[in-house]
Structure 1
Amino acid sequence: MSSNRKSSIVNRQSKIVILGGGESGVGTAILAKQTGFEVFVSDFGKIKEKYKQVLINNEIEWEEEGHSEENILLADVVMKSPGIPDKAPIVQKLLEKGVKVISEIEFAAKYTDATIVGITGSNGKTTTASLVYEILKNGELNVALGGNIGKSFAEQVSELRYENFVLELSSFQLDGIESFAPHIAILTNLSPDHLDRYDYKYENYIASKFRIAMNQTSQDYFIYDADDVEIDKWLSKNTIKSRLLPFSIKKELSQGAFKKNNEIVINIDNNKFNMPISEIAMQGEHNVKNAMAATTVATLLKIRKETIRRSLEGFSGVEHRLEKVLKINNVLYINDSKATNVNATFYALDSMENPAIWIVGGVDKGNNYSELLPLVNEKVKAIICLGVDNKKIIEAFGNIVDTIMETTSMEVAVRTAYKLAERNNTVLLSPACASFDLFENYEDRGRQFKNAVRNL
């Protein structure tokens, strides 16, 4: 890969302020320093020790537990970590002053000529991104995985090592882009999520997701779920310049990916690939779609069919997504902590074959639980609420599930589930909510669940 730097967003020796001293913030700080910026990192909370050490080692100025406004407002450009809402007072002041506020993705993309595969969607983006990365790596491409997953994209760009990037992209990261354009974009699906950040308007959230394609050209590709009503509706009213490659499990398509005779079939300009669904390691309709999207990318990037086949046979999924933990007394414990919205939990409940004790709750992001009612009625024998405020969950399911209990500790939730469970039951952690009331993040929640199960 050529190491030529593209021109900076602003002139050399400009000042960049980075709001948030986490993975994306510190990664951006490293790249910004390397590319000639004066760098200042400011975190309203505490910066983790490991990140602090990186900043100290790189001689980057930082502050924590508050923002020094006069210093921040002198910035030429600001990189805002995705967790910080636009409504935060310091962000509002920057915008009023006309300071450009961007995301790590926007900043870092300026400094690489790599081929970028960007993946967004309400659900399935981590699994799809991990699977794409796995196939490309098995195909011996020089590739890195980043964005909303793993190591910071900006830091990996600073290493000047990669010719390809697979990026999982959240709506918050896409909100902060101006010119970022992945060569291949995937939109896995749409369902209401993070509505608390989008004025409780679903259409605002949808528009945010489609930003992934806004700067693409006719030389680029947009891969999407043709069965998704909201995606279909948006595409009927808006234009995307890139080439559309749909995937579907309901209809046969002339171009793209579809299901036929219990096989996935990919057809792009008469370049065909097919594989029996039974041979794909990840089962379930949503995973068939994830496999279709990933295989479409691999076909575009000319990965050998045998490599694609071997990768799909060997990839069993990601941690915290319908992860089977242990079977105790013929009761299966499943960690689906990554289900932070209603739609993700819908998939989890739908996949239950035995009566379930469902651990649910956390920070509600504007959830509407009504679509879960038929599944809960059919599959769930008891609910354990794990959150600070469980009122909405109790109101939604109180009439259809006899046993609903409240707890604010993972250990107590798992012990309660253990007592309620009978042979051939399943204990499912699938919260349908964010984790920040009781846990650091969904990974912390999932790990605590697994530890509690192992300690039974």
Structure 2
Amino acid sequence: MEEFLRSMNGKEAAVLGIGVSNRPLIGLLCKAGACVTACDKKTREQLGDTARQLEEMGVRLQLGEGYLENLTQEVIFRSPGIRPDLPSLEQAKAQGSRLTSEMEVFFEVCPCPILAVTGSDGKTTTTTLIAEMLKAEGKRVWLGGNIGQPLLSMAGEMKAEDFAVVELSSFQLMTMSKAPHVAVVTNVTPNHLDVHKGMEEYVSAKENIFLGQGKGDLLVCNLDNDLSAAMAPKAPGKVRTFSRREKVESGAWFENDTIYYNGTPWITREDIRIPGLHNVENYMAAICAAADYIRPETALQVAREFAGVEHRIEFVREVHGVKYYNDAIATSPARAIAGLHSFDQKLIVIAGGYDKKIPFDAYGEEACRHVKLLILNGATAQKLRQAVENAPSYPGCGIKIAEKATLEEAVQFAYEQAQEGDIVTLSPVCASFDAYPNFMTKGRAYKEMVSRLSE
């Protein structure tokens, strides 16, 4: 870390995107003595106090529509949401600029083992479970990455005996060349096709989590998911797999409501506090990743105590015998389907949002089987309705569909229609960008709306 900071002294650096993950980076570069230009599509007015604070630190601002023009800095730090092959970035690289990111530099300077998780679904819960298991074993753990906590600014405090546990998105992995000591791929299903050029690019980005590994490193992948399973033969190092369907040669499997690791029972489904078979998969993935550092009783302790991550089938409250859940993280069909399978009854579901150009056919069929009332809102309402009505089991399945203009109207309608014993869940199937900055904001707005429902 000290070497990196010395290398930045006196250099010109550009930071693309003034979001949560890049603000600590900007501060770090300034302290190192770099000449920093912060670039963002937002205007000065939209940034508000942030613009003033950055300028007081000596940062030059490049804002508005042309924020990516004329990039000539020696080092350019890209935000995950900005494609690395934009013409302005290609031009900068051709002129000698080095394109990198906060996470890529962290991988270069981190002094301790990195355990990293990616996947289309389940990566936040799996990442958190690995961290919780290591902490319960008495290890010092640094949790971050796509999960919301940038880690580069903390690398100087890390010790060789610590563990860094990070969640990585496909956008972070697109240009990643270094790999973690332990890489986990929870599953790979169509996602983010509004940004990626297609599934081939999306899968290729996910593979970057392990392609740079050495023989002593470990890849953990889901044997039940075809795209994830296909990665195992490409691994340069050791491989562990997990499966709910079959016994595996090395890794974890689920049989008789019990998770076995290398033939030894570790935890039962009854031990796991958070609902859903998809969370059984998350536990299997976490056990495979952490097994070299923890005891079975430690995994059991976490299973019994861990109440889940916010926005992931999170219980909100009960009103008039109706239970309300927040599954705002369900921003893809696969994740939303997993949520539907987490309950033993038909649900009242609030869905809809921003269109990521993902097909909803599979969700339509599952909704017919698991939903009694589907309340749609947002930009994808019509596409979701069409997917349900085109499903083979739609005729006679009994599902009712309603459309509301806003999330608040949808919550109120669910409240009016629900009867004692019903379960209402926010499970968008889509991203939230049509009405909210992100799924966390949408989930908290939903919880606030539910909290105002009268007893």
When normalised by structure 1's length, the TM-score is 0.89
Correspondence 1:77-116 to 2 at 5 A: 77-86=75-84, 90-91=88-89, 93-95=91-93, 97=95, 99-116=97-114
- Aligned-residue offset at 1:395: 1.8
Q: Could you tell which deviates more after superposition, 161-170 or 401-410?
A: 401-410
CA contact (8 A) 2:219 2:237 kept: yes
Q: Verify: 1:266 aligned to 2:261, yes or no.
A: yes
How far has the Cα of 1:53 moved from its partner?
7.1
Which deviates the most, 32-41 or 332-341? 32-41
Give the whole-Å Cα distance in 2 for the aligned partners of 1:360 and 1:34.
Answer: 45
CA distance in structure 2 between the aligned counterparts of 1:98 and 1:194, rounded to whole angstroms: 30
What residue identity is the alignment partner of 1:432? V
Relative distance call for 1:389 and 1:231 in structure 2 (3 A) is closer
Corresponding letter in the other structure for 2:92: L
Task: Give the C-alpha shift of residue 109 in structure 1.
Answer: 2.0
Per-residue deviation at 1:12? 5.0
The CA deviation string for residues 124-178 of structure 1, in whole angstroms up to 9 with x for no partner, is 0000111111111222212111101132122222545683211010000001323
Equivalent position of 2:201 in the other structure: 204
Amino acid in the other structure paired with 2:222: D
**Cα separation, 2, equivalents of 1:342 and 1:96:** 40
**Alignment partner, residue 176 of structure 2:** 177
- 1:393 corresponds in structure 2 to 384
Q: Which one of the candidate residues 134, 139, 144 is aligned to 1:146?
A: 144
What are structure 2's unaligned runs of at least 5 residues? none
Unmatched tracts of structure 1, length 5 or more: none
Asked if the contact 1:324–1:335 (Cα under 8 Å) also holds between the matched residues in 2, the reply is: yes
Does residue 1:361 correspond to 2:356, yes or no?
no
What per-residue deviation string (whole Å, max 9, x for no partner) do you get for residues 163-215 of structure 1? 3211010000001323x21111100011110012222x222211111110011
Separation (CA, whole Å) in 2 of partners of 1:9 and 1:371: 52
Give the stretch that moved more between structures: 158-167 or 209-218.
Answer: 158-167
How many residues matched?
444
Counterparts of residues 13-412 of structure 1 (less than 5 Å): 13-46=10-43, 52=51, 55=54, 58-68=57-67, 72-86=70-84, 90-91=88-89, 93-95=91-93, 97=95, 99-160=97-158, 163-178=162-177, 180-199=178-197, 201-236=198-233, 239-267=234-262, 274-300=266-292, 302-398=293-389, 400=394, 403-412=400-409
How high is the TM-score relative to the length of structure 2?
A: 0.89
* Mapped contact 1:104–1:173 kept (Cα < 8 A): no
Shift in Å, 1:31: 3.2
Residue 93 of structure 1: how far off its partner (Å): 4.3
Task: After superposing the two structures, state which structure 1 stretch, 376-385 or 399-408, moved more.
Answer: 399-408
Contact 2:39 2:68 in 1 (8 A): no
Percentage of identical aligned residues: 32
Q: Cα distance, 1:231 vs. partner?
A: 1.8
Judged with a 3 Å threshold, the aligned counterparts in structure 2 of structure 1 residues 87 and 67 are, in CA distance, closer, same or farther, namely same
Distance 1:35 1:312, change over 3 A: farther
8 Å contact kept, 2:267–2:299: no
Distance 1:284 1:357, change over 3 A: closer
CA contact (8 A) 2:24 2:150 kept: yes
Moved more, 150-159 or 45-54: 45-54
**CA distance 1:202–1:121, change in 2 (3 Å):** same
Residues 33 and 115 from structure 1, CA distance in 2 versus in 1: closer, same or farther, beyond 3 angstroms?
farther
